[in-house]
Amino acid sequence: MTILNMINKTDLIGFLPSYLYDFISPTMQLHAINIDNLFPDITIYINYHHASSQNHFLTELITILMNDREASRPKFNHSE
């Protein structure tokens, strides 16, 4: 949660999965921005120690990143 606190208290921009944004944004006043035109497509690399593969959270995160890429895209609120 340290990265989220830094994003919340500064003008930094961070990347996080949409499910985490949906969960945290009401309490931390985070805002989603459309970055489709700001950055080209990027490749995400994950380096981890083999022993960490026993960590349920890590294996779930890898599954989400590898198999459910659309679910990790932020959903924008256009209720202007």
Q: What is the pLDDT of residues 34-77, one digit of tens each?
A: 777 776 766 767 777 778 778 888 888 777 777 766 655 656 55
Q: Which domain holds residue 44?
A: 2-72
What is the pLDDT confidence band of residue 80, given thresholds at 50, 70 and 90?
very low
pTM for the full predicted model: 0.43
Look at residue 21 and tell me whether its pLDDT is greater than 60: yes
Q: Do the Cβ atoms of 28 and 22 come closer than 8 Å? A: no
Residue 22 resides in a domain: yes
Q: Which two tokens stand for residue 27?
A: 């309490």
What is the predicted pLDDT for the residue at 69? 60
Domain count, the chain: 1
Distance (Å, whole) CA 26 – CA 32? 12
Residue 78 resides in a domain: no
Residues in the chain: 80
Residue 79 resides in a domain: no
Distance (Å, whole) CA 10 – CA 2? 12
